[in-house]
Structure 1
């Protein structure tokens, strides 16, 4: 079940039903598996409980490092970076996502690389780096198209490109 009901066209953040997310948190409880930890982190993040999300995301990264695969570790690090982004730590988030994207690309994991680049684009968007955000979203789109993603799977990235283009055209021209 997807808890994402869309994306805010201005912030690019997920639109969720808080009641659904809280109910899912109750279902998961204190499960300690990596998938459960990652899901809890995401749910806490979208609910705005960022201190707890950060603490759990650090725990998830440690667990993935000790007991997961390299792909698991990259996913945990990407999620950790998104929590940093939501907390306003754009530099740290961008750095983490850059290293994750590079490692995923080096391993030939286009899906994970696209995931990292999509999130790095959102970090750059939040930080006001519109050109960097657009480049990341375009690269994400290219990677996902090359991987054979459906139109539905490409839609969130297309919306991000549209939002960047809107913001770019709304920005005053320096003179």
Structure 2
């Protein structure tokens, strides 16, 4: 079940129903499985609790490193980086996402690489580096198309590219 109801066209953040997310968080409770940890990290992040989310993200990376697959570890690291982004630690998020994107592409994991590029694009977007954001979103779009992902994932990437273009156009009009 997806808790995402869309994306804010200006911030590119997920739109969610907070009540539904809190209910799911209560359902999960203190489960320590990797999928439960990752879901709790994401739920706390979208509910505006980045500090709590970061603590769990670090735990999820450790659990994935000890007991998960390489793909599990990659997903945990990408989510950890997305929490860093929300907290404003753009350089750390960029570095982690760059390593993840490079490794995923090297392994031929197009879907995971696209996920890393999409998040790195958001880091660049938030930090005002619009050319890099657009480049990352375009790369994510290509990889997602190559992977045959559902239309909603393509739409979120297309919306991100459009947001970059709108912000660049507004900046050129202002100057």
Is the structural similarity TM-score above 0.5? yes
Matched, 1:39 2:39: yes
Give aligned pairs, total: 175
Structure 2, unpaired ranges of 5+: none
Structure 1: 4+ residue segments shifted above 3 A? 172-175
Deviation at 1:170, TM superposition (A): 0.5
DSSP 3-state at the match of 1:2: coil
Structure 2 CA distance, aligned partners of 1:157 and 1:60? 26
CA distance in structure 2 between the aligned counterparts of 1:2 and 1:150, rounded to whole angstroms: 13
Aligned to 1:169: 169
1:91 corresponds in structure 2 to 91
Give the equivalent residue in structure 2 for 1:160: 160
Structure 1 unaligned residues grouped into runs of 5+: none
Residue matched to 2:57: 57
* Residue of structure 2 equivalent to 1:127: 127
RMSD: 1.2
Map Cα deviations across residues 106-159 of structure 1 (whole Å, 9 max, x no partner).
Answer: 000000000000000000000000000000000011111112234333110000
In 2, the alpha carbon distance for the partners of 1:174 and 1:3 equals 37
Q: Which residue of 2 aligns with 1:116?
A: 116
Greater shift, 165-174 or 68-77, is seen at: 165-174
String of CA shifts for 1:3-24, please: whole Å, max 9, x gaps: 1000000000000111000000
Q: Give the CA deviation at 1:174.
A: 9.1
The answer for the alignment partner of 2:74 in structure 1 is: 74
Deviations 1:10-61 (A, max 9, x none): 0000001110000000000000000000000000000111111000000000
Provide the TM-score with structure 1 as the length reference: 0.97
CA distance in 1, matches of 2:174, 2:9: 25
Q: How far did residue 95 of structure 1 move?
A: 0.4
Q: For 2:148 and 2:79, locate their aligned partners in 1 and report how far apart those are by CA, in whole Å.
A: 24
- The residue number in structure 1 matching 2:146 is 146
Match of 1:76, SS?
helix
Deviation at residue 173 of structure 1 after TM alignment:
6.5
Work out the CA distance in 1 between the residues paired with 2:86 and 2:92: 11
